[in-house]
Structure 1
Amino acid sequence: MSSDTHQVGPGVRLRPAALADAGSLAESLTRSRTYMRPWEPVRPDTFYTEEGQRERLAGVLADRDAGRVMPWVLCDAQDRAIGAFNLNGVVLGPFRSAALGYWVDVDFAGRGLATAAVRLICELARDELRLHRIEAGTVLENAASQRVLAKCGFEEFGLAPRYLHIDGEWRDHRLFQRILHDGPVTGEPAGSGA
């Protein structure tokens, strides 16, 4: 996957995640903790520390190196992480699919940054990973995330009862997908190891 940095808004860029992002991710997550509570699993306090984020990132980067995850961070003008976007569970072969997850810092929410980043990730997934589709799920009440997905060409395709344990309980989710292309499978992307 491209190691490029991409502008997604005034002074805001999307770039591949790095271990060095642990500190700014911890700060952003701590600042946004209450805001994101209705959409997130209950996390231990250590998740919101630099060490907790360093451990989490080490696992994510190992999964990236194995071709299972593609992680990016949204960065401000000082290159501090203010959000994260992941393609999780990347499957190649005849399925060619992944699941999208993302969040944006409370201080940067509502500016169209998630929409711009999701559009870009869809392009990268189609052109570089050669994925056929991306799926995403939201709790029923997350209208803001549903708007982002709709603006980016995702269509609702189902309802998953008690899908994920979010904010302390099993929550129903709306499921969305975007078909990126209907072309033939022409081999694995370079460096995929598949």
Structure 2
Amino acid sequence: MLPGGTRLRLVSLDDAEALHRAYTANRDHLAPWEPRRPESFFTVEGQAARIREQLKQFAEQRAVPWVLESDGAVIGTITLSGMAFGPFCSAHLGYWVAADQQNRGLAGAGVASVCRAARDIIGLHRIEATTLPDNAPSQRVLSKNGFEPIGMAPRYLHIDGEWRDHRLFQRILHDGPPSN
């Protein structure tokens, strides 16, 4: 359990309606930090298609998509994507929390839970995350969870309509041999 009774759990196809509501309600809040989305993304059908793809990647051990849920409502997501095993044992972390749920410690607690699962259950060695240079709140979440800055990637992602620089962070989870 996270602060305030919030749960972190694997996404399910049953979440399409709740994710549609969450993304629609947070569209303006997320716009400066995310790629521009087609209108279909903000529909129940668009979310169902997205969840099906995420669950396919989960079955293939390429991603783990979680939702943050409070009082039956989805209030954010956390995803490990681009998972690789063997000598790399790494994944990329992405997350967001609804505008009306900010400053409650949910992102930090969720990221901490995901890091524990990545180390103890999935067996990853490392997690990478990126933020826009001016996204200080997200950088604080990462710092509090043991992520260290490792550089800057010029024109790294197409965010809010343009190629944007990103700060790169990583957290080393363990130094044992690869488990997979």
TM over 0.5: yes
Q: Within 5 Å, which residues of 2 pair with 1:32-43?
A: 32-43=26-37
| 1:23-38 superposed matches below 5 A | 23-38=17-32
1:10 maps to 4
Q: Distance in 1 between matches of 2:83 and 2:35?
A: 22
Alignment match, 1:102: 95
**2:122 aligned partner:** 129
Bigger helix fraction: 2
Question: TM-score scaled by structure 2?
Answer: 0.98
Matched, 1:84 2:92: no
Q: Which amino acid aligns with 2:145?
A: C
CA distance in 2, matches of 1:184, 1:51: 42
Secondary structure of the structure 2 residue equivalent to 1:75: strand
Query: Residue 4 of structure 1 corresponds to which residue in structure 2?
Result: none
Q: Give per-residue Cα distances to partners, 1:2-34, cap 9 Å, x unaligned.
A: xxxxx1111211011101111111111111111
**Stretch of structure 1 that moved more, 173-182 or 7-16:** 7-16
The correspondence for 1:174, drawn from 144, 167, 174, is: 167
* 1:19 paired residue number: 13
RMSD (CA atoms)? 0.8
1:109 Cα deviation after fit: 1.5
Counterpart check, 1:48 vs 2:34: no
2:109 matched residue in structure 1? 116
Provide TM-score, normalisation by structure 1.
Answer: 0.91
CA distance in 1, matches of 2:95, 2:173: 19
Determine if the alignment matches structure 1 residue 67 to structure 2 residue 61. Answer: yes
Counterpart secondary structure, 2:174: coil
Gaps of 5+ in 2: none
Looking at structure 1, the residues matched to 102 and 57 of structure 2 have their Cα atoms a distance apart, in angstroms, of: 28
Partner residue in 1 for 2:150: 157
Secondary structure of the equivalent of 1:63?
Answer: helix
1:177 is aligned with what amino acid? Answer: Q
In 1, Cα distance between equivalents of 2:150 and 2:44: 37
Looking at structure 1, the residues matched to 69 and 79 of structure 2 have their Cα atoms a distance apart, in angstroms, of 14
- Mapped to 1, the partners of 2:43 and 2:100 lie a distance apart of 19
Q: Deviations over 1:98-151 (max 9, x none)?
A: 000011111112211000000010000000111100000011111111110001
List structure 1 runs of 4+ shifted beyond 4 angstroms.
none
